[in-house]
C-alpha cells in the first residue's frame, strides 16, 4: 500500500480489520500471530524504515538495535506455534545455566536447564537478527505494511475508528491518507504518541538508573551461562552469544545510577573493561574487547488505559519494565498472543472485534500475568539495589535460600522462563 496526497471520498476509505501502529518487536510479532491464525485484513504502520534488504546489521527501528533479548520458554512456544522458531533458532544461543551473584556479599546461586527439566532456560537473540527474521516473515503473509509513516490523527467513529496517516515514502513522495479500521492496536513504544492522541497517557516512575549495553569479547567460553550479578552500583547481566569470527562473546546489560553513566560511556575501552572486570570478576577470564556502548534510561511506565472501544494498547506502549529480569518483551509477547486468540474467538462467533466486551476480556485475562511480572521485575530491582547492610544481608539470605531449596530455585527459574502464570494459556 502506498500513501498519496489525494483527497478521498469518505465512503471509499480503505477499510481494515485492524491497524497496528508500530512495527517493533511487539507490533510485528502480533501481525504474524494474527496472520497465522486467520485471513485478517491487517495494516502495519511503522514510523521508520522496515527494509530487510539491508539485513543483517542495519537498524530498522527502535526495537531492532544493538541490544540482545533473552527469550523465555513461553516465547519459544509462541514463535513455534506460528512456524518461525526454526528460522529464529539459527540465530539463538541457549541459556543452559543461570548464575546469580552479589558482589562483595558472598550470596550466590545457580540454576540449570537440566535441573528444570528443559532444553534451555531461555534463548538469547541479537535484536537485529530478531528484526531480520520477523520482517522477512511479513513477506510470507498478506499483511499490508507502510513504513516511514506515522499516525497524525485518530477519530473514534460509530462502529470503528478513522485514522489519518502521514507518510514519507521517499524524497518528494510525501502524503496523507485517511483509512478506517474496526480495531486500532497501538504498539508504538513507551510514551506512545498515538495513545496520547486519544487522551491515553502513561504513568512513569523513573528508576534514576541507566542501562549501558555492549557486546564483550571474552577470553573463556561462556558455556551457555547467563550471569546476573548484583553490585552496590547496580545490577549487571552478561548473556551468552554465539561466537563471532572465532571470538567468544557475551551481551552486557550494565545498570548504573544516572550520575555514574557518563563517565563509563565516555571512558576509553581499556578503562571501561578494567572497571567492568573489577565489578564482574574473572569467571569468564579477561575481558578482551568492548563493542559499541549504547545507553537506555530506565523507568517503569504503565498506560492509564489498555483497552477502550475499538482500541488496544500493547507492548512498551502499555507497560515498560526494568530490564534486570529480561521480562518486558516476553510479557508483551504473551499479551499479544492472548489478544490474537481472543480476537479470533470473537470472529468465530461473529462478535465485533472492537467491542469493549471482547477487549476487556482480553485485558482481564492478562492482568494477573502483567501485575506479577511487573512486581517481580520491580521488586528484584529494588531488592538488589540497596547498599545498606540490612539489604545486603537480605539479599544474601535470599540467594542462599534459592541455592539451598530446590523448589524455590525451580519456581524462580520457571518465572524467568515465563511459565509461572502463563503455562496454561500458552503451553
Ligand atoms: C537494555 C534493555 C534490555 C532488554 N532486554 C530484554 C530481555 O532480555 N528480554 C525481554 O523480554 N525484554 C527485554 N527488554 C525489553 C524489550 O526491549 C521491550 O519490551 C521491547 O523493545 C518492546 O517492544 P515494542 O515493540 O513494544 O516497542 P519498541 O521497541 O519501542 O518499538 C516501537 C516501534 O514503534 C515505532 N513507532 C514509534 N512511534 C510511532 C508512530 N507514531 N507511528 C508509527 N510507528 C511508531 C518505532 O519506530 C518502533 O519501531 C529490554 C529492554 C532494554 C531497555
Predicted confidence (pLDDT) per residue in 287-300, tens digit = 999 999 999 999 99
For residue 268, pLDDT beyond 90: yes
Burial of 201 (0-12, 13-18, 19+ CB in 10 A): middle
Ligand 1 pocket test target in 59, 69, 297 with most atoms within 8 Å of CB: 69
- Tell me, in angstroms, the distance from the centre of ligand 1 to residue 332's CA: 10
Our answer on whether the CB atom of 313 is closer than 6 Å to any ligand 1 atom is: no
Q: What's the predicted TM-score (pTM) here?
A: 0.90
CATH superfamily entry for domain 10-205+298-426: FAD/NAD(P)-binding domain (3.50.50.60)
pLDDT of residue 62: 64
Q: What is the C-alpha to C-alpha distance for residues 273 and 419, in angstroms, rounded to an integer?
A: 36
Q: What is the pLDDT of residue 5?
A: 43
Mean pLDDT lowest for which of 112-126, 179-193, 384-398? Answer: 384-398
Which secondary structure element, helix H or strand E, spans residue 19, and what is its range?
Answer: strand 15-21
Domain ranges of the chain: 10-205+298-426
The b-or-e profile of 224-262 (16+ CB within 10 A means b, else e) is bbbbbbbbbbbbbbbbbbeeeeeebbbbbbbbbeeeebe
Cα–Cα distance, 283 to 310 (Å, whole number): 52
Identity of the highest mean pLDDT range in 5-19, 34-48, 104-118:
34-48
- For residue 6, name the pLDDT band (cuts at 50, 70, 90): very low
Q: What cell does 161 get?
A: 475508528
Q: What is the pLDDT of residue 416?
A: 60
Say how many residues make up the chain. Answer: 427
The crossing angle, in degrees rounded to 10, of helices 25-37 and 127-138 is 40
Q: Percentage of the chain surpassing pLDDT 70?
A: 82
189 CA to centre of ligand 1 in angstroms: 6
**Is the CB of 69 inside a 6 Å radius of any atom of ligand 1?**
yes
Tell me how far apart the alpha carbons of residues 419 and 413 are, in angstroms, rounded to a whole number. Answer: 9
Q: Please state, in angstroms and rounded to a whole number, the distance separating the CA atoms of residues 400 and 110.
A: 10
Report CA(322)–ligand 1 centroid distance (Å).
12
pLDDT for the residue 205: 92
Whole-number pLDDT of residue 56 = 47
Cα(238) to centroid(ligand 1), Å: 20
Helices (H), 99-180: 113-116, 127-138
Among 186, 180, 218, smallest CA distance to 200 is for: 186
The answer to whether residue 54 scores a pLDDT higher than 70 is no
Residue with grid cell 504473551, as numbered in its chain? 334
What is the residue-averaged pLDDT of the chain? 86
Q: Is the pLDDT of residue 422 over 90?
A: no
Q: Is 251 in the pocket of ligand 1 (CB under 6 A)?
A: no
Q: Parallel, antiparallel, or unpaired: how do β-strands 108-112 and 149-157 relate? A: unpaired
How confident is the model at residue 12, as a pLDDT? Answer: 76
Whether pLDDT at 52 is above 60: no
Query: Residue 427: what pLDDT?
Result: 42
Cβ–ligand 1 contact at 416 (below 6 Å): no
Centre of ligand 1 from the C-alpha of residue 142, in Å: 24
Q: Is 332 in the pocket of ligand 1 (CB under 6 A)?
A: yes
- Cell 505494511 sits at which residue? 145
Q: Which atom of ligand 1 is nearest to the CA of 314?
A: 26
Question: How far away, in angstroms, is 269 Cα from ligand 1 center?
Answer: 28
Is 189 buried (19+), middle (13-18) or exposed (0-12) by CB count in 10 A? buried
Name, in order, each residue with C-beta under 8 angstroms of 410's C-beta and a sequence gap of 6 or more.
Answer: 115, 116
Query: CB of 148 within 8 A of CB of 167?
Result: yes
Checking if the pLDDT of 254 tops 80, the result is yes
For the segment 266-272, the average pLDDT, to the nearest whole number, is: 96
Phi, psi for residue 297 in degrees, rounded to 5: -65, 140
Residue with CA at minimum distance from ligand 1 atom 2: 323
User: Which atom of ligand 1 lies at the shortest distance from residue 317's CA?
Assistant: 26
Amino acid at each position: 500500500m502506498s500513501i498519496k496526497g489525494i483527497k478521498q471520498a469518505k465512503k471509499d476509505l480503505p477499510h481494515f480489520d485492524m491497524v497496528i501502529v508500530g512495527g517493533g518487536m511487539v507490533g510485528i510479532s502480533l501481525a504474524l500471530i494474527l496472520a497465522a491464525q486467520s485471513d485478517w485484513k491487517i495494516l502495519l504502520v511503522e514510523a521508520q524504515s522496515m527494509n530487510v534488504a539491508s539485513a543483517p546489521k542495519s537498524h530498522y527501528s527502535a526495537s531492532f538495535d544493538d541490544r540482545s533479548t533473552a527469550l523465555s520458554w513461553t516465547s519459544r512456544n509462541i514463535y513455534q506455534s506460528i512456524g518461525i522458531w526454526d528460522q529464529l533458532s539459527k540465530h539463538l544461543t541457549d541459556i543452559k545455566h543461570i548464575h546469580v551473584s552479589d558482589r562483595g556479599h558472598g550470596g550466590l546461586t545457580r540454576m540449570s536447564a537440566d535441573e528444570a527439566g528443559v532444553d534451555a532456560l531461555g534463548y538469547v537473540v541479537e535484536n537485529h537478527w530478531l528484526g531480520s527474521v520477523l520482517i522477512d516473515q511479513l513477506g510470507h503473509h498478506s499483511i499490508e505494511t507502510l513504513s516511514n509513516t506515522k499516525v497524525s490523527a485518530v477519530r473514534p467513529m460509530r462502529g470503528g475508528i478513522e485514522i489519518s496517516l502521514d507518510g514519507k515514502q521517499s524524497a518528494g513522495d510525501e502524503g496523507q491518507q485517511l483509512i478506517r479500521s474496526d480495531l486500532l492496536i497501538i504498539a508504538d513504544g513507551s510514551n506512545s504518541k498515538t495513545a496520547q492522541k486519544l487522551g491515553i497517557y502513561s504513568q512513569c516512575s523513573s528508576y534514576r538508573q541507566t542501562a549501558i549495553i555492549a557486546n564483550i569479547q571474552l577470553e573463556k567460553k561462556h558455556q551457555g551461562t547467563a550471569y546476573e550479578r548484583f553490585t552496590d552500583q547496580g545490577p549487571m547481566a552478561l548473556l551468552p552469544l554465539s561466537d563471532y569470527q572465532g571470538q567468544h562473546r557475551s551481551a552486557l546489560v550494565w545498570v548504573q545510577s544516572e550520575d555514574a553513566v557518563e563517565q563509563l560511556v565516555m571512558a576509553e575501552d581499556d578503562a571501561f573493561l578494567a572497571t567492568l572486570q573489577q565489578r564482574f570478576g574473572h569467571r569468564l577470564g579477561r575481558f578482551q574487547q568492548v563493542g559499541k556502548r549504547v545507553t537506555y534510561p530506565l523507568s517503569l511506565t504503565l498506560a492509564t488505559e489498555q483497552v477502550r472501544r475499538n482500541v488496544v494498547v500493547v507492548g512498551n506502549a502499555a507497560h515498560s519494565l526494568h530490564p534486570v529480569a529480561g521480562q518486558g518483551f516476553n510479557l508483551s509477547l504473551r499479551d499479544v498472543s492472548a489478544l490474537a486468540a481472543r480476537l479470533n474467538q470473537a470472529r468465530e462467533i461473529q462478535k465485533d472485534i472492537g467491542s469493549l466486551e471482547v477487549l476487556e476480556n482480553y485485558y482481564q485475562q492478562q492482568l494477573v500475568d502483567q501485575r506479577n511480572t511487573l512486581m517481580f521485575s520491580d521488586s528484584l530491582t529494588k531488592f538488589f539495589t540497596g547498599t545498606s547492610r540490612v539489604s545486603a544481608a537480605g539479599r544474601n539470605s535470599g540467594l542462599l535460600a534459592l541455592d539451598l531449596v530446590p523448589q524455590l530455585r525451580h519456581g524462580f527459574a520457571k518465572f524467568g522462563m515465563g511459565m509461572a502464570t502463563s503455562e496454561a494459556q500458552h503451553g
